Copies of this chain bind each other. A is one copy, B any other.
Amino acid sequence: MALIVQKYGGSSVADAASVQRVAARIVATKQAGHDVCVVVSAMGDTTDELLDLAQQVTADPPSREMDILLTAGERISMSLLAMAIDGLGVEARSFTGQQAGVITDAAYGQARIIDVSPSRITATLADGQVAIVAGFQGVNTEANDVTTLGRGGSDTTAVALAAALGADVCEIYSDVDGVFTADPRIVPSARRLGQIGYDVMLEMAASGAKVLMPRCVEYARRFGVPVHVRSSFSDLDGTLVTKEDPMEEPIIAGVAHDRSQAKITLVDVPDVPGKAARIFKVVADAGVNVDMIVQNVSASGTGRTDVSFTLPAADGDAATAALAAVRAEIGYARLAYDDTIGKLSLVGAGMKSNPGVSARLFHALSDAGINIEMISTSEIRLSVVTGAGDLDAAVRAVHTAFDLDSDQDEAVVYGGTGR
C-alpha cells in the first residue's frame, strides 16, 4: 500500500464524462489498496472563459480580484470530481488550496508556495476517504486572501503536497503519454523516455518541453519527490522523473524546442567596459528575463559591436521601450527586434563529457540547409536559435542525427555506450 498523489489537468476533466472517467481511475487506485490525494485543475476552457469575462468588464482588472475569479474554476472541478467518486461508492472530500494548507506569499497571480500544512488532508486519508485538492491556488495567511500560483501551478501544488504528505509518488496526468525525445507532433518517430533525472528534465522544461513546468521540477528535485508523468487517456506507463541514475541516464535525453522567444539586437554599441552590464540592468529593471546572449567581437576595428539576446516574445514591448529610453546614454545606433525565431535545445546528462556532440549537431543542421543565428551551451544542454520557419525541420534533423528515432536501436542512446 502506497500514498499516491495524482494530478489531473484541465484536458483530463474537460466535461462531465471526462470527470467520471477520471473518477473511475481514482477509484481503481483506491481499491488497489492505496491512499489517494488528487490535485485537479479547472475544467477545459474554464480559465480562458473567466479571463475573457474579466476583460469584458474592465481592461486592467486588479490582481487580487483576478485571483478570486480564477480560483472559481478549480472549485467547480474539484467538487464535481468528489461527487463523481462518491457516485462510484467511494467517499471523497474536496478542499480548496486554503483548506489543504497551501500557504503562499502575497504575489497575486504568481504566488510562491512558502509552506504546506496538510492536516485536513492527512485526516481525510486516515479516514479512508479520497482527498481532492484544488490546484493552482493557495492562501496568503497574512491577508487571509486567496492567491493563484501562475503557470504550471497545479503541477507545483501536486508536488508540494506530495512532499508535505511524504507520498511515495506524484503522478502528473495530462493528454500526453510522458516525456518524449522530441514533440511527437513534429517528430512522429519520437520515443517516450522511461526515466529521466531531475536536472535533465529541468533543462528540457526550461527549453520548451511543455509536459512539465520548470518550477514544478525544481520543487520535486528539492524535496526528492518522484514524479510519474502519464496520460489520463491510457493505462501505459509514462516517464518517471527522479534522481539521476548514472547507469540509466541517456547521453542525449531529447530535443526540446521553443517558439515563444524573440530576439533583440542592439547595433553599433560602443565596445567599452560596462556597456553590457548597463544594457542588461535596464532590461532586468523592466522585469524581463533574458535567455541567450551573444556579443560579437569588434573585429572591424571600429570600436563598436553588436549585442543580441533572446527573451520571451511577450516581454518584447517592455524591453524595447526600456532600451529606447536609454539609447543616447548607451550610444547604440539601432535596435532590431525579431520575433520570428525558434530555439532548439539538445539536452542530456552525458553531453559535456562527450566531445563531438556540438559538431554533430551543427553538421546535421548544415546538411539540412538551416542557418544558425545564435548558440549557447550549459553543462547538459546545447541550444541554437534558427529562423522560426526552419525550427520543425531542425528538430527532425537533429533528432535523426542523434539516433533518437524510434526505429533505431535504443541501446545506442542510453548510458554506458561510451559515445
Question: Chain A residues in contact with chain B, CB under 8 A?
Answer: 16-17, 19-20, 23, 50, 53-54, 56-62, 64-66, 68-69, 71-73, 75-76, 78-80, 82-84, 86-87, 92-94, 96, 99, 120, 144-145
Contact = CB atoms under 8 A, between A and B. Distances in A.
Contacts of A78: 68
A343 to B, nearest CB: 36
A72 B59 CA distance: 23
A23 B57 CA distance: 10
B50 A65 contact: no
Given A57-B87, A58-B87, A94 B65 contact: yes
A400 B219 CA distance: 75
Contacts of A82: 62, 65, 68
A75 B83 contact: no
A50 B79 CA distance: 11
15 contacts: A16-B57, A17-B56, A23-B57, A54-B83, A57-B83, A58-B83, A58-B86, A64-B93, A65-B79, A65-B86, A68-B75, A69-B75, A69-B76, A72-B72, A72-B75
A65 B83 contact: yes
Contacts of A71: 75
Contacts of A66: 79, 83
The 4 closest A-B pairs by CB, nearest first: A58-B87, A16-B56, A69-B79, A68-B79
A195 to B, nearest CB: 36
A20 B61 CA distance: 13
Nearest to A62: B86
Contacts of A60: 87
